[in-house]
Chain A
Amino acid sequence: MIINQKVSDLIELNFTGVVIVSEEPQNEFIQIQSEKWLDVAKYIKTDSELKFDSCQCITGVDLGEDKDFEVRYNFHSMKLKHKIEIRIAIERKKPSVSSIEQVWRGADWLEREVYDMYGIRFKGHRDLRRMLLPEDWKGWPLRKDYKTPNIYNGMKVPKVRKGWD
């Protein structure tokens, strides 16, 4: 994929040291550091050669109980008709990353959903609330170390059906 190389080079040109070169061949995605994410995001949206004007998907990933979280962004350009995936690793203990909600409005709900499921805080998000789960839900369900609660709001959570052991 040529576009990946191009984007990777352009980002590296403007923000030195942001792109993390991993041992995996980077032909499908670009791994970048979380610190300058907001600036990079603004850059790839506005740069005339990239113009990623549409944020398609934000996926939270938990690769295992001892590994970092990842947030994976899929961008697409309606003008230039190309797409890219950007990955950002987030440390597990204090998961947070800059919000790009004000860069792409569509990222608003997508980020809220990731927050809802993984508890990853998006710094600068103006309305970071639970999205799909109720406001009073405890825990982050899609983390690998999540345990289904026994009791929710005083109601017992049924585990196994009667006679279906």
Chain B
Amino acid sequence: MGLIHAEEMTLNIGPQHPSTHGVLRLKVKTDGEIISEITPVIGYLHRCFEKHCENLSYEQVIPFTDRCDYIAAMNNSFGYVLAVEKLMEIQVPERVEYIRVIMAEYNRIASHLLALGTFGLDVGAYTPFLYMFRDRERILDLFELTCGARLLYNYMWIGGVSHDLPVGFMEASYRFLDEFEKNITEYHNILSYNKIFIERSADVGTMPKEVAIDYGVTGPNLRGSGVKWDLRKDEPYSIYDKFIFNVPVGKGLMGSVGDCWDRYWVRAEEMKESVNIIRQALDKMPRKGDVHEALPKKVRPLKGSIYYRTESPRGDLGYYIISDGSSTPLRVKMRSPAFTALSALSEIATGWMLSDVLVILGSLDIVLGEIDR
């Protein structure tokens, strides 16, 4: 005769697991299905980005920034390039600015499509994932037409872009945008407003405003919590001040403000805004211009340092660049938005069930390449 001995079980989710979105390991203490403690362990994809940058020239860093967040490579190199340009005080031609914005917004859509699709996959909906991948494929086709690569572009250059827009890009763009706007409605019908999906994501993993700010969470995750903060609007970089667009924030339509459904919904709405921006940019863009006009002969910024933030699909992407006046940076630090988002996971996911933890993780939209760098 003895008492039933019950204790918490330690469970390792990952590093190889279908829904950790990469090689993330979650050390989890569970009591049955309930998670009582959760410790993310990262570093499995650490590729020494910052160490590499010490030995590379400024231009050579660009392909490495692409590889940090491989889902939104355009946005990543966009941020880096803008930071170096600010450091060197280069003024790029207007056409280049428009092209960059178009590319960055396209990549934002592509990234959000992947985020929403895999979020659906975490919840168990397989079909929307493939619909979204189909549309993402079309965007990647456009990128490939422009710079020859589908995922890691090395398209943004310091002072310009590598190639001008190719023939047929505009027509293909308009065609895609028209199709895509219809498809967003379909995604909403099949996934967003599906009762099972709402049950799974609404009121789950609520991240209150204060917690989100305290953890430095940014981007759609922060906006999902109801904070209207978007660098494109509040601190316009490049030419974002020339466009009219809204910043969707989570309103708690299906549950409470800041739950998984809100974060999902903010991303879905942001895609619409991105379509809006791309349309405006395509219309307003100067038709002619040399994209290589402002390329500096030698990239050798003056001594100094800069912290430059841009709005990547995952949030405020900051680059801290210190130049010692040579052609290689002294220090490049990347402030990755997914890193801070993941640090908030243990706060918001404790106490939920095992299935919920993976849903919450999916709603944070992390990319391990960016977290580990």
Residues on A close to B: CB < 8 A?
53-57, 59-63, 72, 74, 78, 81, 85, 104-110, 113, 117, 130-134, 141-142
Q: List 19 A-B contacts (CB under 8 A).
A: A54-B214, A56-B316, A57-B335, A59-B331, A60-B333, A62-B331, A85-B307, A105-B211, A106-B214, A106-B344, A107-B216, A110-B216, A110-B339, A113-B339, A132-B43, A132-B373, A134-B43, A141-B51, A142-B51
- B46 is an interface residue with CB less than 8 A from chain A: yes
Partner of A56 from B43, B318, B347 at Cβ < 8 Å:
B318
Is there an interface contact between A81 and B43, defined as CB atoms closer than 8 Å? no
Give the distance in Å from the alpha carbon of A54 to the alpha carbon of B216 in the complex: 5
Is there an interface contact between B46 and A106, defined as CB atoms closer than 8 Å? no
Q: Which residues of A contact B305 (CB under 8 A)?
A: 72
Is there an interface contact between A63 and B46, defined as CB atoms closer than 8 Å? no
Give the distance in Å from the alpha carbon of A130 to the alpha carbon of B41 in the complex: 10
Is there an interface contact between B216 and A106, defined as CB atoms closer than 8 Å? yes
Partner of A54 from B50, B54, B213, B320 at Cβ < 8 Å:
B213
Partner of A106 from B51, B227, B343 at Cβ < 8 Å:
B343
Give A108's nearest chain B residue, CB to CB.
B343
Give the distance in Å from the alpha carbon of A106 to the alpha carbon of B322 in the complex: 23
Q: Which of B217-238 contact A (CB under 8 A)?
A: 217, 227, 229, 234
Give 1 or 0 for each of B309-337: 1 = CB within 8 Å of chain A CB.
10000001010101000000011010100
Partner of B333 from A53, A59, A63 at Cβ < 8 Å:
A59
- B88 is an interface residue with CB less than 8 A from chain A: no
Report the minimal beta-carbon distance from B137 to chain A, rounded to whole angstroms.
33
Is there an interface contact between A106 and B215, defined as CB atoms closer than 8 Å? yes
Report the minimal beta-carbon distance from B38 to chain A, rounded to whole angstroms.
14
Report the minimal beta-carbon distance from A132 to chain B, rounded to whole angstroms.
4
Q: Which residues of B contact A132 (CB under 8 A)?
A: 42-43, 46, 372-373
Q: Interface residues of B: mostly helix, strand, loop or mixed?
A: mixed
Give 1 or 0 for each of B10-53: 1 = CB within 8 Å of chain A CB.
00000000000000000000000000000000110010101100
Q: Which residues of B contact A72 (CB under 8 A)?
A: 305, 307, 320
- B173 is an interface residue with CB less than 8 A from chain A: no
Size of B's binding interface in residues, CB under 8 A: 35
Given A53-B213, A104-B214, are A109 and B316 also a contact pair (CB < 8 Å)? no
- B57 is an interface residue with CB less than 8 A from chain A: no
Q: Interface residues of A: mostly helix, strand, loop or mixed?
A: mixed
Is there an interface contact between A74 and B307, defined as CB atoms closer than 8 Å? yes
Is there an interface contact between B318 and A57, defined as CB atoms closer than 8 Å? yes
Q: Which residues of B contact A108 (CB under 8 A)?
A: 343
Q: Which residues of B contact A107 (CB under 8 A)?
A: 216
- B162 is an interface residue with CB less than 8 A from chain A: no
Q: Which residues of A contact B42 (CB under 8 A)?
A: 131-132
Q: Which residues of B contact A74 (CB under 8 A)?
A: 307, 318, 320, 335
- B280 is an interface residue with CB less than 8 A from chain A: no
Q: Which residues of A contact B234 (CB under 8 A)?
A: 81
Q: Which residues of A contact B318 (CB under 8 A)?
A: 56-57, 74
Q: 4 closest A-B pairs (Cβ-Cβ)?
A: A106-B216, A57-B335, A132-B43, A109-B343
Q: Which of B282-311 contact A (CB under 8 A)?
A: 305, 307, 309
- B276 is an interface residue with CB less than 8 A from chain A: no
Is there an interface contact between A105 and B322, defined as CB atoms closer than 8 Å? no
Give A78's nearest chain B residue, CB to CB.
B213
Q: Which residues of A contact B46 (CB under 8 A)?
A: 132-133
Is there an interface contact between A105 and B43, defined as CB atoms closer than 8 Å? no
Q: Which of B178-230 contact A (CB under 8 A)?
A: 211, 213-217, 227, 229
Q: Which residues of A contact B54 (CB under 8 A)?
A: 142
Give the most central of A60, A107, A130, A132: most B CB within 10 Å: A132
Report the minimal beta-carbon distance from B183 to chain A, rounded to whole angstroms.
34
Give the distance in Å from the alpha carbon of A25 to the alpha carbon of B230 in the complex: 30
Give the most central of B46, B342, B347: most A CB within 10 Å: B46
Given A78-B229, A104-B216, are A56 and B309 also a contact pair (CB < 8 Å)? yes
Give the distance in Å from the alpha carbon of A87 to the alpha carbon of B309 in the complex: 18
